[in-house]
Structure 1
Amino acid sequence: MNKRQLFGLITAFVGSLVIGQAYSAQKKELSEQGFERYVSALRQEALEKGYPAEFVEQNFTRVTFHQRAVKADRNQPEVVETLDTYLPKRVPKWKVDRARDLYKQHFPLLRKIAEQYNVQPRFIVALWGLETNFGKIMGNYNVVSALTTLAYEGRREAFFKKQLWAAFDILQQGHIDIDNMKGSWAGAMGQNQFMPTSFLAYAVDGDGDGKKDIWNNQADVFASMANYLQQEGWDDEITWGRQVKLPAEFDFSLAIPKRTGGRKSWLKAWGEREKTLAQWQALGVRRADGTDLPKVDIKAALVFPDDEKGRVYLAYENYKALMHWNLSYYFVSSVGHLSDRIKFPPIK
């Protein structure tokens, strides 16, 4: 290769870098311009929905594009886990100890809420601990900005726009102001990580001060969690489920498939497969220690968080309420296990 050819290659390489940098800058600029145009369209849509002009301007004036939210939404980690590796990380001893301490600390309030909503306090504390580490990790994204960003990104525009207008309703009702409406990159808010539509459906004023403050008011946080579970069919006379063992040659088609295609399909599969404990007993299902199942007249469905070689649970009706909260066997199992660790041995 002579000097002229080498110089030509170097020139072409440098030129391609300059063009690439210019393209990236232009792409960023277009993205910012596109976001601004999108926000302008949302402003108009908000006015058409009847929100006051001053209110709309106030909420959109400082809205910003959160590239991190888009990145987080597109690149959610796919870690290969089993329940045996997941539970020790989600329910470590320090979290159990902290949960038990906070259970005792807040017990008068928890007992009052438990009596009102018929939800055992240990489940409220378990959800609190697993959602936000007892209120310590709530996210620091401006919720309106995060939801606007994800609506603009477009893959789930209808969903995030619905959440955005729900957030507007929350602001309009005066439960929180725009600067303090903080949450996760996906718009989940407060110590119980309610999406805005869940807030409107389940959040309650736990202390009668006229506001539903799931960010700072412990009475509102606990009561909203309990109200959610109650509305989804919670029964405080039973627990969440129990780990069991199966007989040899068990018919695994009796269990709910691990993947069912969404909440409605999962509930349909539940309805088709639930049986009484007596029926499961007759099929050879036993407690994890090999003893007989409880002789109580309740129904349960069989679930495998992993596969046929992993743990297996008889899930009670309360399991369905937890699956409505988060359609994840791992999450529900972690809530159940933490609640059991809070309960046993008995707290004095």
Structure 2
Amino acid sequence: MLSKQPLKTSQTSPPSLQWWLLLAVLLLWPMSLGAATASNQFTEWLAVLRQDAIAAGISATTVDNALSGIRQPKKKVIHHDRNQPEKKATLQRYMAGKINGTRIEHGRTMLERYPTWLTRVEQRYGVPRRYLIALWGIETHYGAYSGNFSVIQALATLAYDSRRGDYFRKELLKALQILDEGHVSLARMKGSWAGAMGQCQFMPSSFYHYAIDGNKDGRIDIWATIPDIFASMANYLEKAHWQTGQTWGRQVTVPKDLNHNLIGLKTRLPLAQWREHGVRQLNDSPLPSSELRASLIAPDGLNGPTYLVYDNFRALLRWNRSHRFAITVGTLADKLVEKK
């Protein structure tokens, strides 16, 4: 006879701690391999860059000192590159973040604080002081904030990761050259996430093309020396074909039936002709019957603000290709000299 003892159910003991650790290792292993591979690729890229920099005449000591602290691309730089306000914000929102009562008052204070150097620079380069102060204010809050990113690390990140890698690689080599020539120390070479340096936010190549020794002391210091900062900005705009005696543009109103093909910098018509097309000043008065040529732009489409802009607007675009940036600089410059 078969025994009628109850059947025993099988029991499985819970996984041990070692088992869980092994599972975690297996799951994380591909990620670790990916991170290690990316790190190795960046290290190899830096090694090639080092060779190219030395071949370009930059001392090995300068290159090694500048690159020694860089281990991987800086994620914050990549984030900023993907989210630039000039590209994503509306004109109204962008201007609201750049122009306010405090910035206008500080700008007027700066106009009064540096009359001697502003007069000298204005006479030498033909650029009115209000535009220099406006650029200074928009770029670095009148020198209060020039950025705290390491220029070398920011440029290395963008040269390695960016959609414009070749451009930033050339800028990185120029930045190493600036260090090698002793214009600034590595510790002071701070700037924006994009590698723009000093109180006027010059890229390294712009430093070589436009930076000026304004006070004639034998050094070019766009980080702390006011005469050099003002002269460098004015020299940049002069080289960008600034037109003495002209303004930058004006906000206007347009008729609803305006031909959309007229909008854009490719079309340049005399003000008198824009007047015939029904374009009027913001206060609804007619435009001057002038032969001054202008283009009509609408950064946010015809449902947003529209502007007639002149040659000096194009000069501001040489500084920064964003229409929003150039409009904001011009608007702040106008507000700095408005009657209170």
User: TM-score if structure 2 supplies the norm length?
Assistant: 0.88
Tell me which structure has the larger Cα radius of gyration. Answer: 2
SS for the counterpart of 1:190 is: coil
2:56 pairs with 1:37:
no
Which residues in structure 2 correspond to 1:1-348 (within 5 Å)? Answer: 17-73=24-80, 75-76=82-83, 81-153=89-161, 155-256=163-264, 270=265, 272-345=266-339
| Gap regions ≥5 residues in structure 2 | 1-8
Identity of aligned residues (%): 35
Amino acid at match of 1:200: Y
Provide, for residues 297-341 of structure 1, a one-character-per-residue CA deviation record: whole Å limited to 9, x for no partner.
Answer: 311000001111111100011000111111112111111111111
Contact between 2:127 and 2:234, CA under 8 Å: does it hold in 1? Answer: yes
Specify the code of the residue in structure 2 equivalent to 1:290. D
**Could you tell me how far apart the structure 1 residues matched to 2:89 and 2:159 are?**
31
| 1:21–1:4 CA distance, 2 compared to 1 (3 A) | farther
SS at match of 1:273: coil
Q: Distance in 2 between matches of 1:177 and 1:83?
A: 37
Question: Residue type matched to 1:273 in 2?
Answer: T
Q: Deviations over 1:5-41 (max 9, x none)?
A: 9968x99987654334344344333333333222221
Per-residue deviation, 1:222? 1.0
SS in 1 for 2:238: helix
The farther-off stretch of 204-213 and 41-50 is 41-50
Are the counterparts in 1 of residues 59 and 180 from structure 2 also a CA contact under 8 Å? Answer: no
Q: What is the number of residues matched between the two proteins? A: 330
Q: Render the CA deviation track for 1:219-266: whole Å, top value 9, x for unaligned.
A: 11111111111101111301110011112411121011xxxxxxxxxx
Compare 13-22 and 335-344 and name the one that shifted more.
Answer: 13-22
- Give distance in 1, aligned partners of 2:251 and 2:317: 17
How many angstroms apart in 1 are the aligned matches of 2:222 and 2:54? 28
- Alpha carbons 2:212, 2:232 under 8 Å: kept: yes
Distance in 2 of aligned mates of 1:74 and 1:313? 28
* Distance in 1 between residues matched to 2:99 and 2:10, nearest whole Å: 66
Q: 1:147 deviation in Å?
A: 1.4
Q: Is the 2:43–2:71 Cα contact (8 Å) retained in structure 1?
A: no
Deviation at 1:53, TM superposition (A): 3.2
Residues 20 and 204 of structure 1: is their aligned pair in 2 closer, same or farther, counting only changes over 3 Å?
Answer: farther
Shift of 1:168: 2.3
- Residues 38-86 of structure 1, C-alpha deviations (whole Å, 9 max, x = no match): 2221121122223233343343334443423443255426786432333
1:7–1:77 distance in 2 versus 1, CA, 3 Å: farther
**Aligned partners of 1:69 and 1:146 also within 8 Å:** no
Deviation at 1:293, TM superposition (A): 1.4
What's the offset of the Cα at 1:283? 1.6
Q: Distance in 2 between matches of 1:213 and 1:92?
A: 29
Q: Following TM superposition, by how much is the alpha carbon of 1:175 offset from its aligned partner in structure 2, in angstroms?
A: 1.6
Tell me, in whole angstroms, the C-alpha distance in 1 between the residues paired with 2:13 and 2:286: 82
Cα deviation, 1:136-168, whole Å, max 9, x if unaligned, reads 221122212221232222543211110011112
In 2, the alpha carbon distance for the partners of 1:141 and 1:85 equals: 25
Q: Whole-Å Cα distance in 2 between the matches of residues 344 and 209 of structure 1?
A: 36
Gaps of 5+ in 1: 257-269
Distance in 1 between the 2:291 and 2:84 partners? 41
Question: Who is 1:263 aligned against?
Answer: none
Larger mean CA deviation between 96-105 and 77-86 belongs to: 77-86
User: What is the rounded CA distance, in whole Å, between the counterparts of 1:315 and 1:13 in structure 2?
Assistant: 67
Aligned-partner Cα distance in 1 for 2:205–2:76: 19
1:40 aligned counterpart, secondary structure? helix
Structure-1 separation of matches of 2:336 and 2:169? 39
